[in-house]
Structure 1
Amino acid sequence: MVNTNLTTQNEKLREVGLELKYTEDGLTLTDGKLSIMVDFKDMLPRLKQSNLQNEMQVKAARIKGQPMPQKIIDATAGFGEDSLILAAAGFDVDLYEFDDIIALLLEDGLNRAKNIPELASIVSRMHFHHADSIQAMQHLDYLPDSILLDPMFPSRSKSAMIKKKFQLLQKIESPCSVEEELLNAAIAANPKRIIIKRPLKGPFLADKKPSYSLEGKAIRYDCFVFSRS
């Protein structure tokens, strides 16, 4: 459970014109006009098995020749969409989110998803940690197969939903300022693969060139591949 007091968080949020409030649908972050929440029901069409094999994060993360479930860390979980897709594809996912507000929203979404038959088995493979992944990756008691990094990056998307989400989130979370530390922590965790989600035309994370990249229309996945005995 997220060890965070809602009243305390709202006292901080009011300084930037935001509020967390419970609605009949779940926990919502709002500025009085725009509202966002974690609602995995919206992603059900993408979770069909016929669609999952075409998802870029699945292609980037799956290690050929290794049986599932493969263990992956989502070190910058955010609203958990990538983790949900990976879990639906059969991965066992550890999600880390450091920001208190986003962690509250994500945990609320995960808890509601457990009661939805189409999502229950998927979210059972998603293990949420309200923690700093940089610190956590230095003290793992297992070797992950892969690590996913998606540090916040200024959005250039024209999508109305992305704009709406970004407008609110940028008030509470700044673009990543510890890129090199994040990448180094992931490397030190000794995975077989690191996958970094980036804007299509964005720079490499910490200016480190990957082994290869998978490119879509708006985003790409930079993949680092390591040999591990």
Structure 2
Amino acid sequence: MAIDLPEGLSLERVDGALTLVADDGLSMCGDFARELRRLRPANVSRELLVRAARVRGCDHPRALDATAGMGEDSLLLAAAGFSVTLYEHDPVIAALLADALERAAAVPELAPVVARMRLVRGDSVGALRALADADASARPDVVLLDPMFPERRKSASVKKKAQLLQRLERPAQDEDAMLDAAIKARPRKVVIKRPLKGPFLAGAKPAYQIAGKAVRYDVLVPAQL
């Protein structure tokens, strides 16, 4: 499938990985092997996201990542035992993520984790709205939202990644529509990733928060709204 790219960007195969390359030398690819240390059971259980998403009394929790990006958050949830459906609407990012998942499936330590991850290339808002009238067995236990936010982190590596993502000229996300659709899908939780001092998504006050040094997770419980 042909993918239109902004001027100055190309998709190339570099050392076996599909890579987004800029003509100024910046590049980015998905590499879940870098996350192996975080995926160890003793480590993943301490991850802020996993703590925020944890569902009591559910042996086989399901999550819907409405803003998958490069999939790192979904990878953590899958390592913690969630079955995760990832939605990514940008075709370039979806292609990079699909390639990362395919390569990870060939790594013995990663294969059982990515087996619990399913990528859907498309709009998550429409999918969430369709769940509003669905049977309870079809609804996810957790919906994860991580909309784009400028200057969210300050590390040099993330800055380079953010620069490339911004060049894709992704359309602005309608935060109100996204949150409304997530709540109406009636999961047990909506988990929202935010900058530590950033405003609430669409002004919605969470039931509780789990915060770290750079980011926080706002947790909404739709049944209580």
TM over 0.5: yes
Residue 24 of structure 1 deviates from its aligned partner by 2.1
User: What are structure 1's unaligned runs of at least 5 residues?
Assistant: none
Which TM-score applies when normalising by structure 1? 0.91
Corresponding position: 1:120 with 2:116 = no
Moved more, 179-188 or 135-144: 135-144
User: C-alpha separation between the residues in 1 aligned to 2:157 and 2:87?
Assistant: 23
User: C-alpha separation between the residues in 2 aligned to 1:156 and 1:185?
Assistant: 24
> What's the counterpart of residue 38 of structure 1?
30
Match of 1:195 among 181, 191, 194: 191
Residue 175 of structure 1 deviates from its aligned partner by 7.2
AA aligned opposite 2:86: L
AA aligned opposite 1:81: E
User: What are structure 2's unaligned runs of at least 5 residues?
Assistant: none
Residue 156 of structure 1 deviates from its aligned partner by 3.9
User: C-alpha separation between the residues in 2 aligned to 1:47 and 1:173?
Assistant: 32
Corresponding position: 1:24 with 2:20 = no
AA aligned opposite 1:101: V
> What's the counterpart of residue 149 of structure 1?
145
Partners of 1:29 and 1:36 within 8 A in 2: yes
Residue 49 of structure 1 deviates from its aligned partner by 0.4
Partners of 1:153 and 1:175 within 8 A in 2: no
Q: Deviation above 6 Å: which 4+ runs of structure 1?
A: none
- Partner of 1:147, secondary structure, is strand
Aligned positions, number = 218
Residue 67 of structure 1 deviates from its aligned partner by 2.7
> Between the two proteins, what is the percent identity of the paired residues?
50
AA aligned opposite 2:140: P
Residue 208 of structure 1 deviates from its aligned partner by 1.0
- Partner of 1:190, secondary structure, is coil
User: C-alpha separation between the residues in 1 aligned to 2:152 and 2:130?
Assistant: 35
Match of 1:181 among 164, 177, 181: 177
Corresponding position: 1:225 with 2:211 = no
User: C-alpha separation between the residues in 2 aligned to 1:192 and 1:179?
Assistant: 20
Residue 173 of structure 1 deviates from its aligned partner by 4.0
